[in-house]
Structure 1
Amino acid sequence: MRAWLLVLLACLALPVHAELWGFVDAAGVAHFAPRQLDARYKPVLGSVGMQRVPGKTDAGLALLNWLDIAPEVKAVQPWVREAAARHGVDAELLKAIIAVESGYQKAAVSPRGAMGLMQITPETAARYATPADAARLIEPRINIHTGARMLADLLRRFPIDTALAAWNAGEGAVRRAGNRLPDIDETQAHVQLVLELYWALLQQSQPARAQRLTLHP
C-alpha cells in the first residue's frame, strides 16, 4: 500500500455522516452529489457513523456499474490505467476525480476555463504539461496524464484530503488553512465526494483492500 493511502483512514473521519448519491441523465452523463439534491438522485452508498457500507440499492449499484460499462468510460480506461501506472497514483482515484469533475464528458469546459475529463485549468496545464500538450488539453489522453501528474505531485506534498482540497481550491487555500482542509463548503463537499466514490470503486475492484480502509465505530 502506498504510504499516502494510510492517511485515508484519518481523512474518512469527516465530521458528517457521509453519503453518495447520483444518477445518469438522458444524455448518458453521470451526476454525483454528497446529498440528495432532487428526486433523480438515488443512494449509491452511505455510512452509519464511520462504518462504510457499499450501496445496496439497485440504482446505486447500477450507477457504480456505469463506471465500468459506459462507452465513454471504457473509451478512456486504457489511458486511465496508463496514467496511473506512469505517475504512481491509483486508477480508482483517477476514475473518482473524473466522475466528479466532468461526469466523463471529454468536451466539458467550465466557466473558469477548466477543460476536459479532469477539468484542467490553463494555469495547471502551464505547470504540468508541455506547451504542445497544453494546446491540446481537451484531448482525453493528454488531459488525463496532465491531471495524474498534478495529482501525484500534490500527493507527494499533502495527505490525500488536503491534496484533493488543493486540487479543488488551489494550493494557496490549503496553505492559508495551515496545510489542512480549508473551511470552504464547496471544497469540503468535493473532497468528501471524491473519497466516498474512491472507496466505492475500491470496494468493487479490490474489496480486501477497501475493507482495510474501512473505519469502524
Structure 2
Amino acid sequence: MRPLLLALLLCAQQGLAHAADVYGYIDSKGVAHFASEKIDERYQVFFRRGQSFDTAQGLAPFARGGRKLDGKVPQASQTLLALFEASPSYKTAKAALRDASNKHSIDYELLQALIATESGFDAQAVSPKGAMGLMQLMPATAQRYGVAADKRSTIEKKLFDPRINIAAGSRYLRDLIAMFPGQIELALAAYNAGEGAVQRAGNKIPNYKETQNYVQTVLQLYAYLKPSAGGSAMAGGGARGGKAPGRIRMELTVPKGGALGRGNMPPGSPGAMPAMPDAPEPSAVPDSGSDAPVS
C-alpha cells in the first residue's frame, strides 16, 4: 500500500485557523481513515501543525501555503486527485458533475468535495433517515427541485440516478450560495442542517458537532482539489470553517449510508460526539424546513 500524503483536517476557529497534526492510514479496502491523534499503530503523521490560514479571507492564504513557489500542484492535491480518478463511481458521475457545474456556475471542485463528503460517490447511498444518492437528497427536497414521480419510477428510485441527483442537488446548493452570498461555509452548513438552522444561529454555523465537522471537511477537500480557490464557489464567497472535528473518515468507496456521519463514523469517537448535550444526531441532507441535521 503506497503512503497517502493527504491532510484534510485543520483545527479551526471562526476568523483564524491553525493547522493541527493529522494522522491517518488506508485500510485493506482502500478506505482512508483520519484522526487528530495517533489512535493506534496503523496511524502515521500526514501533516504537521504550523501552517495557518485566515478563513475570514477565504481559502486563498491556505492555498498559497499549500502550493509550491514554482506553481506546481502540491503532492497532497495530486494524491487526492489520483484517489478520485481511481474510483469507478466517480468516473461515472464526472459528466453529470461537469454539466451541473457549467449550468449553475458552481465550481466543479466544490461539487466534487461535497459529494465525497456526503456519499463517498456511492450513488446507492441511503442515510438512516432517507437521504439518498450522491448528494444525499431527501425526497421532499428533490421534489422542490423538479424531481417528480411518474408511471415508470418513484422519486426515491430516481434519486439513485447520478444525473438526476446531481441536477437537483446542485440547484439546491446554488440557491443556498445565493442565500448566503460571500459565505460558502454558511451555504454548506445550510445544506447539511437546513437554512432555518443557520438563520436561527444568527447566520453562523450552528453549534452541531456534525455540521461543524461537515463544513470543515468539505472546505478542506475543496482547498486540496482546487488550491487556487479563494473561497469562491460562484461570484465571490468567503469561507470560514467551524470547529475542527476530533476524528473523521473520508471514503471514496463506502458501504451504503454515506461517507460522513451516516453510519460510518465509529461509535464513541470524538467526531461522533454531539457539540451540546441536546444536539441532534448526525445528518444527511435535510429538507429546507429542518432545524438540525437528520440521519
TM-score by length of 1: 0.75
Q: Which whole-Å CA distance do the structure 1 matches of 2:32 and 2:95 have between them?
A: 23
The residue that corresponds to 2:289 in the other structure is none
2:75 pairs with 1:49? no
The residue that corresponds to 2:210 in the other structure is 186
The residue that corresponds to 2:196 in the other structure is 172
2:89 pairs with 1:72? yes
The residue that corresponds to 2:221 in the other structure is 197
How far did 1:146 drift?
A: 1.0
How far did 1:69 drift?
A: 3.4
Kindly provide the amino acid, as one letter, of the partner of residue 134 in structure 1.
I
Task: Give the SS at the match of 1:161.
Answer: helix
Q: For residues 70-102 of structure 1, give each alpha carbon's deviation from its aligned partner in whole angstroms, at most 9, with x where no partner exists.
A: 222111101100011112211100000010111
Q: For residues 138-195 of structure 1, give each alpha carbon's deviation from its aligned partner in whole angstroms, at most 9, with x where no partner exists.
A: 1111111111010000001112111000001111110110122112111111111101
**For the structure 1 residues 84 and 70, does the alpha-carbon distance in structure 2 shift closer, same or farther, using more than 3 Å as the test?**
same
How far did 1:31 drift?
A: 4.8
**For the structure 1 residues 200 and 69, does the alpha-carbon distance in structure 2 shift closer, same or farther, using more than 3 Å as the test?**
same
Q: Which whole-Å CA distance do the structure 1 matches of 2:74 and 2:37 have between them?
A: 14
Which of residues 66, 73, 79 in structure 2 aligns to 1:62? 79
**For the structure 1 residues 34 and 116, does the alpha-carbon distance in structure 2 shift closer, same or farther, using more than 3 Å as the test?**
farther
- Runs of 5+ in structure 1 lacking a partner? 1-10, 204-208
Tell me: higher relative CO, structure 1 or 2? Use CA pairs within 8 A at least 6 residues apart: 2
Which of residues 140, 143, 153 in structure 1 aligns to 2:165? 143
Asked if 1 retains the 8 angstrom alpha-carbon contact of 2:22 and 2:48, the reply is yes
Task: Give the SS at the match of 2:82.
Answer: helix
How far did 1:134 drift?
A: 3.0
Name whichever structure is richer in helix by fraction.
1
Number of positions where the alignment pairs a residue of Structure 1 with one of Structure 2: 199
Task: Give the SS at the match of 1:155.
Answer: helix
How far did 1:62 drift?
A: 3.1
**For the structure 1 residues 199 and 63, does the alpha-carbon distance in structure 2 shift closer, same or farther, using more than 3 Å as the test?**
closer
The residue that corresponds to 1:129 in the other structure is 146
Q: Which whole-Å CA distance do the structure 1 matches of 2:172 and 2:217 have between them?
A: 19
Task: Give the SS at the match of 2:114.
Answer: helix
Percent identity, aligned pairs only, is 40
The residue that corresponds to 1:6 in the other structure is none
Task: Give the SS at the match of 2:226.
Answer: helix
Q: Which whole-Å CA distance do the structure 2 matches of 1:183 and 1:210 have between them?
A: 26
After TM superposition, the structure 1 stretch with the greater mean CA deviation from structure 2, 156-165 or 54-63, is 54-63
Asked if 2 retains the 8 angstrom alpha-carbon contact of 1:31 and 1:103, the reply is no
TM-score by length of 2: 0.57
Q: Which whole-Å CA distance do the structure 1 matches of 2:167 and 2:48 have between them?
A: 29
Backbone CA RMSD of aligned residues? 3.5
